[in-house]
Structure 1
Amino acid sequence: MTKQFDVIIIGGGVVGLTAALALADYYEHIAVIDAHALCPEQLNDSMRVLALNQTSKELLTKLNIWPALKPCEATPYRHMRVWDGLSGANLKLDTQLQAQTELGHIVQDNALKRTLLTQAHAHDHIALIDNTPIEKVSVLDEGCKLISDTQCWQAKLLLVADGAESVVRSQLGVTIWRYDYHQKALVATVKTSKPHQHTAYQIFTPTGPLAFLPLASKNECSIVWSTTPKHAETLKNLAADEFNQALTQAFESHLGDVELQSTRLTFPLIMRHTKQYAGHNWLLLGDAAHTIHPLAGLGLNLGLADVLSWLKCSERRAIDKPFALQKALKAYQRDRKAHVLPLIMLLGSLKTLFLQSASPIVSLRGFGLSSVNHFDVFKKILMKSADTL
């Protein structure tokens, strides 16, 4: 027997659940299907943190997600300090430039997902179907049909948000532009002898950017160290004391001595960009559509911007009007390509630029960074761009 829904969302991560809660005001029958468990109590402990901009916070606030987070789960950062380890040039961003109380927040990934799952479970319009891999997807004249090994569903609109290695994206026949950054990111939680003062720091080292992101405790940070795969694995396997010394040195002791507080995890950095954001009765969201370098901390913000874009492009009850739905899907594709592809190119160029060690290039990028730092108008443009993805 085929179960009918207005909208089916594949993927119960942050982006998929946010989309479900956002669309629940418009549609009464929404399903979120995931190959893994969708139970708040079964979330594994994770040290992963997420950088959220003001636009993402506003979206989560409208959905009553943000007020449900505990203060210790969302740490505001009010300053940003970025500098080039070779030239010494730096860029400083502060809240007074935009008359705001914070530039953004560092949020615990599990805390955000747990809150989203709790809200979704309690919502009368949302059905959560977990531990159910999708085996086949068929695009129909008026909707999409999905089949697992035991069940079958049909919906007027399919949203695909099942991650970077999306199975459903592949089943739809969507091709991906993929580029290996030839780097790995090492993440960990550390304690510093000096307080972070609600500042997000990033230094461009000769092998890649190293970020210190403030956590709830004034002397704790989450680090993201992007470097060569070989160096990342070496760092991961160092004794704790040796790692502390290497990290303190690479960060130029800006927060004093650094002490490891967690395990160290590494993952490869790969750019992905879909060649097609939407088709007949379906669209891609989040990592299923794009993955970018973490140097600007925009990954999740880009996924939540996908959700906002679809809300902007689609009419209320658009799925009941086939012509309006196809028009909205085309508008969504145009909007996301126009915003995402230039950002991918920019981040790739910055990553390449700051890996160069030739004196003329070091001098040139140092001049550019210092020039931006001296003019508030450039800083404001930069900050606004990071909020309008």
Structure 2
Amino acid sequence: MVDAHETFVIIGGGLAGAKAAETLRAEGFTGRVIIIGDERDHPYERPPLSKGYLAGSKERDSVFVHPPAWYAQAEIELHLGEPAVDINRETRSVTLGDGTTIQYDALLLATGAEPRRLDVPGTRLAGVHHLRRLAHADQLRGMLTRLGRENGQLVVAGAGWIGLEVAAAARHYGAEVTVIEPNPSPLHGVLGPEMGGLFTQLHAEHGVRFHFGSGITEILGQDGQVLAVRTDDGEEHPAHGVLVAIGAAPRTALAASAGLEIDPATGGVSVDAALRTADPAIFAAGDAAAFWHPTLGTRLRVEHWANALNGGPAAARSMLGQEVSYDRLPYFFSDQYELGMEYSGWAPPGSYDQVVCRGDVGKPEFIAFWLKEGRVLAGMNVNVWDVTDRIQQLIRNGTTVDAERLADPTTPLPE
């Protein structure tokens, strides 16, 4: 039974917040646990929004972190559909949009991120979509179904993970797809030019058209509906729908207004390796947190599922006063057509001097490694499974490896 000796408040109704609440109860916390979320849906996971649910292979209920009844059973209070609008650090209180004030002893910011917007004419036309929330996926799924039925045209702005996964889902429905990307290859800022060509070829084989090296300057329409997209090289691309997938920005306005430090390099709420802010009563996790990584020796902001899955519980333990050093390596995965991949590590552009491939890139069934002076910074396994732990161990070891042996599939990775 819950007593009111302490109240822990979680702002953010996503995976990080839900897993933090679950962990608080699992660790024996008997005080009040309150989740504040500005969406009316119960906490859910985001990967299915661009993967299984969007493509029609998963039902809507499959996206939720817990069944709705679980929260009452765990005695976790939910304030859904009501945003937090103010944090008063002096009184340790949170004010909601309806004027309700909630006191806290410890506060977790798991506010996530929001889609970046195109600043061009025509973005308010019907048929222009973003993908971040479950409601977005509901709308986009309906549009893709219609475009597939009518052989319609979808233009995707951005060849990142979301853009490519939606392109694959659109082709599954039968829609025609054009992807517009300013960089010379997909996923250029994540995988670099060495691996981008793999995804170009994959999507081209499934009928996706790419327009690299240009950006959108205007979305054209008639009677409030999308008709075409114009790019800065003067091209016009027919469109019956547009997905804007040009990245996400951390939701830090609430933290900034409360005077918490925002990391200038990543844009996230600055926290230490225990996911604590400079205010000992306030913590941050998930997409909005810029945390100090003790293994990599730098501050990171990671927007992917695994960071929310693992960061929420780590923050909960830290809130309970346990010793926490959050050193999970960045990890993400993607499914596109017949290709499945996992990526571990951190190798931003300019940080590596060599990419080594192990296996058959053309099949594709291989592992790619990003190296700096012979040390493995990151690894991506494509249609090769059960190797993530070994790849992450190579990264953590930080020792110099022999590139030729690394590329040789007959040499076991532990060697």
TM-score by length of 2: 0.43
The structure where helix makes up a greater share of residues is 1
The higher relative CO (CA closer than 8 Å, separation ≥ 6) is in 1
TM-score by length of 1: 0.45
